[in-house]
C-alpha cells in the first residue's frame, strides 16, 4: 500500500512540476553574460530547474547564489510581496462566474484578518499555499486528499479546465490572476531551494500594510533571530530585529523614521510587554536604534544553522 501511494505521489509530482518555471525564466532574462556562462554548465532551463528542485549535484553554490540574486533583484518578481489582492480578485471572479467551487473554498479559508492570526491556523494556511506541495507529495500517504486542498494543485487544475473552454472572455481574467498566483508560488519555491530555507507568503489581510517581509534564522548557538520589515500605508517603513535566547529571553531592536509611529509604540509598550509575558516570553530589552545593524549581524553569518523567509 505504501509503495502504491509513493508511485501515485511521484506521478502527481511530475504533472505539477512544469518543465519550465516562469519565475526562473524571468530571472534569467536579466542575467549578465558572465552569469549566464556560469549557469550554462547545465544545458537548458528544464535541466536547471530540475537540478535546483531535486537538489542534484548539477548546480553548485556559485550557481545558486547567482540565481538567488537574479530572483530577488528582478523588478517583476520583487513586486510579488503581496498575494492578497490577487487572491481576493480571483475569489470574486470565481464566485461571479460560478467556477471551481473547491478552489473558492480554499481561497476563502486563506483570507483571514491578521488580527485573528493564531499559531495552529497559521501552520494550516502555510501548508495550503502550495509552496510545500512537492515535498508533501513525496511523504504523504494520501496524495488525493492533499491535492484536493492545496492551492497550487487547484490553480493548476482550474487553469487546465478554463483553457479548454470556448467562452474565453470571462476565463481570461481568471487565468490572469491564476498565472500571477502561480508565479508567486514558483518564486517562493525557488528561493526556498536556492537559499536552503523555506520562503512563504502570508495570505492574511491587513489594510494598513503595503508590503512586508519576515526572515527567521535559527543559529547554532540555539538563538533564534527574526527580522521584520513592514511598509505601512500611513507611517512608512519600520524594521524590527528580535533575538530569542535561552528559550524565552527576548531582545528587540526597532528602527523607524516616523516619530509618530515611535510615539505610538512607546505609548503602547506596556501592552506589548504584557502580551509577551502572557506567552511566557521575558522581554529583556526593547529599544529604538538608528540603523538595522546590530551585534546579531555577525552571529547570523558565523552561527547560522537554518532559516526561512515569509512574505506578507
Q: If pLDDT is split at 50, 70 and 90, which confidence band does 312 have? A: very low
pLDDT at 13 over 50: no
What integer pLDDT is reported at residue 62 of this predicted model?
80
Q: Is 236 exposed, middle or buried (0-12, 13-18, 19+ CB in 10 A)?
A: middle
Range among 29-38, 120-129, 130-139, 229-238 with highest mean pLDDT value: 229-238
Q: If pLDDT is split at 50, 70 and 90, which confidence band does 52 have? A: low
What integer pLDDT is reported at residue 239 of this predicted model?
93
Contact 253, 226 (CB under 8 A): no
For residue 283, give Cα distances in angstroms to 125, 229, 263, 267, 269: 28, 20, 19, 17, 11
- Mean pLDDT lowest for which of 17-31, 120-134, 190-204, 221-235? 190-204
Would you put residue 61 in left (φ > 0), alpha (ψ -120 to 50) or beta? alpha
pLDDT, greater one: 66 or 15: 66
pLDDT, greater one: 308 or 274: 274
pLDDT, greater one: 120 or 229: 229
Q: pLDDT for 270-292, tens place per residue? A: 999 999 999 899 999 999 998 65
**Domain covering 208-311 in this structure, CATH number:** 3.30.750
What integer pLDDT is reported at residue 266 of this predicted model?
95
pLDDT, greater one: 72 or 137: 72
Mean pLDDT of the chain: 77
Please name which of 223, 216, 259, 217 lies closest in space to residue 238, comparing C-alpha atoms.
259
Map out the domains of the chain as residue ranges: 1-196, 208-311
What integer pLDDT is reported at residue 54 of this predicted model?
58
User: pTM higher than 0.85 for the full model?
Assistant: no
Q: Is 132 exposed, middle or buried (0-12, 13-18, 19+ CB in 10 A)?
A: buried
User: What value does the mean pLDDT take over residues 60-88?
Assistant: 83
What integer pLDDT is reported at residue 307 of this predicted model?
42
Point out which residues pair with 240 in neighbouring strands. Answer: 228, 254
Amino acid at each position: 500500500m505504501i509503495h502504491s501511494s509513493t508511485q501515485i505521489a511521484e506521478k502527481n509530482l511530475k504533472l505539477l512540476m512544469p518543465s519550465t518555471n516562469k519565475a526562473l525564466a524571468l530571472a534569467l532574462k536579466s542575467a549578465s553574460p558572465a552569469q549566464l556562462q556560469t549557469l550554462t554548465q547545465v544545458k537548458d532551463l528544464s535541466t536547471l530547474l530540475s537540478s535546483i528542485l531535486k537538489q542534484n549535484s548539477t548546480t553548485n553554490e556559485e550557481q545558486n547564489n547567482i540565481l538567488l540574486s537574479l530572483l530577488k533583484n528582478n523588478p517583476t518578481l520583487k513586486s510579488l510581496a503581496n498575494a492578497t489582492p490577487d487572491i481576493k480578485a480571483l475569489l470574486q471572479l470565481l464566485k461571479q462566474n460560478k467556477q471551481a467551487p473547491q478552489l473558492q473554498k480554499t481561497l476563502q479559508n486563506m483570507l483571514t484578518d491578521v488580527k485573528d492570526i493564531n499559531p495552529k491556523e497559521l501552520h494550516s494556511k502555510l501548508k495550503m499555499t502550495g509552496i510545500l506541495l512537492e515535498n508533501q507529495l513525496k511523504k504523504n500517504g494520501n496524495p488525493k486528499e492533499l491535492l484536493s486542498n492545496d492551492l497550487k494543485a487547484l490553480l493548476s487544475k482550474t487553469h487546465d479546465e478554463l483553457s479548454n473552454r470556448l467562452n474565453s472572455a470571462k476565463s481570461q481574467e481568471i487565468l490572469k490572476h491564476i498565472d500571477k498566483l502561480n508565479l508567486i508560488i514558483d518564486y517562493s519555491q525557488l528561493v526556498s531551494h536556492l537559499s536552503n530555507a523555506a520562503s512563504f507568503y502570508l495570505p492574511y489581510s491587513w489594510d494598513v500594510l503595503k508590503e512586508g517581509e519576515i526572515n527567521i534564522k535559527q543559529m547554532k548557538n540555539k538563538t533564534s533571530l527574526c527580522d521584520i520589515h513592514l511598509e505601512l500605508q500611513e507611517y512608512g517603513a519600520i524594521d524590527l530585529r528580535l533575538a530569542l535566547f535561552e528559550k524565552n529571553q527576548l531582545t528587540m531592536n526597532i528602527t523607524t523614521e516616523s516619530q509618530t509611529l515611535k510615539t505610538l509604540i512607546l505609548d503602547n509598550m506596556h501592552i506589548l510587554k504584557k502580551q509577551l509575558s502572557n506567552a511566557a516570553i521575558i522581554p529583556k530589552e526593547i529599544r529604538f536604534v538608528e540603523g538595522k545593524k546590530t551585534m546579531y549581524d555577525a552571529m547570523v553569518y558565523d552561527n547560522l544553522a537554518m532559516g526561512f523567509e515569509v512574505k506578507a
